[in-house]
Amino acid sequence: NAGVTQTPKFQVLKTGQSMTLQCAQDMNHEYMSWYRQDPGMGLRLIHYSVGAGITDQGEVPNGYNVSRSTTEDFPLRLLSAAPSQTSVYFCASTRDRGQDGYTFGSGTRLTVV
Amino acid sequence: AQSVAQPEDQVNVAEGNPLTVKCTYSVSGNPYLFWYVQYPNRGLQFLLKYITGDNLVKGSYGFEAEFNKSQTSFHLKKPSALVSDSALYFCAVRDSKAGGFKTIFGAGTRLFVKA
């Protein structure tokens, strides 16, 4: 049982490039989220999804797009990378809307130069 | 809007002593509260949660947390700290009134346990 799998683990982008961070879970979890982690700021919610075809914005959605075509996959797209998007990105999923904790992926460290 | 505050950037404690990591929250409905731990260069791991019922909840690795509704707090505790407890700890909240899924995290508290 792999849990939540994120790819790639590391990525360097040039300003203005686009890319997709992949997230897949094999636990049949309905609820998935993307967070970014920055020093001193904790984890900030970018986008989340309550099921296939349903997504919503979190605290810091600008510059990012998401889609949820299947229960398993929840990719995060950076449209035009900026140095301010240098961060560690975590994908997380949970079975229950309110009462279960998250299972987190191992993260993607992104550097934008 | 929901929010979480962890007032201490860092907590230092000697091995064998009790530890407390503080968390306060703000939600409009009933809170669902969580603690997570992050070891160096690792993802986050779920420690424990409060949903309803007994105000003292127990979790993984000997940790427990006390929910205090009047003080809107959910402090993480352990009776006897280990060096291996040194890590970054995050408190998180979901607002049951707002649909119960959008989860907001605090800024984190770094715990150092000295041998």
The answer to whether B35 and B22 are in contact (CB under 8 A) is no
Q: Which of A23, A27, A41, A43 to mutate to test the interface with B (most CBs of B within 10 A)?
A: A43
pLDDT at residue number B99? 59
A-contacting residues of B 55-114, CB under 8 Å? 90, 92, 94, 96, 99-108
What is the pLDDT at residue B109? 97
Contact (Cβ atoms closer than 8 angstroms) between residue B93 and residue B33 = yes
Q: What is the pLDDT of residue B57?
A: 96
CB contact under 8 A, B104 and A45: yes
Query: Could you tell me the end-to-end alpha-carbon distance of chain A, in angstroms, rounded to an integer?
Result: 36
Give the model's confidence band at B41: pLDDT under 50 very low, under 70 low, under 90 confident, else very high: confident
Model confidence at B76: pLDDT above 60:
yes
Banded pLDDT at A98 (limits 50, 70, 90): low
Burial of A62 (0-12, 13-18, 19+ CB in 10 A): exposed
Confidence of residue B95 (pLDDT cuts 50, 70, 90): confident
The neighbouring-strand residues paired with B2 are: none
Percent of chain B at pLDDT exceeding 90 = 78
Q: Chain-wide mean pLDDT for chain A?
A: 94
Query: Comparing A49 with B97, which gets the higher pLDDT?
Result: A49
Which tokens is A89 given?
């990105």
Q: Is B74 helix (H, G, I), strand (E, B) or coil?
A: strand
Q: 3-state DSSP call for residue A83?
A: helix
pLDDT > 70? residue B98: no
Contact B90 A43 (CB under 8 A): yes
CA distance B95 to B76: 19
**Tens digits of per-residue pLDDT, B9-20?**
999 999 999 999
Token look-up 């398993």 returns: A72
Q: If you search the block for the tokens 């402090």, which residue do you land on?
A: B75
Q: Is A67 on the interface with B (CB under 8 A)?
A: no
State the nearest Cα–Cα gap between A50 and chain B, in angstroms.
8
Residue B16: how many CB atoms within 10 A of its CB?
12
Window 44-63 of B: residues touching A by CB (8 A cutoff) are 44-46, 49, 51
